[in-house]
Amino acid sequence: MSTIRDQEFLRLLKKDIDYFERTVECFEDMIPRLSAPLQDQWRLQAQTRRNFVMDLEILLDKTKATIGASLGRERNESALEATRC
């Protein structure tokens, strides 16, 4: 992937994470207004969404690390080629 596409992917992933965080907060705000059986279901769903957000954040961190390592290798290879010439 190109650096521009990587940056765009990271930006969109961060946007998705922010969206899911806000959505979970909205669900949690609604819970007190719901009946008891629905409250349990909403809590379970909110927890699932929080877990999903955490998974996305882990994916984002790993992607950043991978891209950073890839860019570092490209720079090292470029520097090595420059010294060979």
Q: What's the pLDDT score for residue 78?
A: 67
Angle, to 10 degrees, between the axis of helix 3-30 and the axis of helix 36-84? 160
Q: What's the pLDDT score for residue 30?
A: 80
Give the integer Cα–Cα distance in Å for 60 and 75. Answer: 22
More confident residue, 20 or 30: 20
Q: What's the pLDDT score for residue 80?
A: 60
Which residues constitute the domain of residue 19?
A: 3-84
Q: What's the pLDDT score for residue 15?
A: 93
Count structural domains, the chain.
1
Name the residue with tokens 């909205």: 26
pLDDT digits (tens, 9 = 90+) for 23-75: 889 888 887 776 777 778 888 998 998 999 999 999 999 999 988 887 777 67
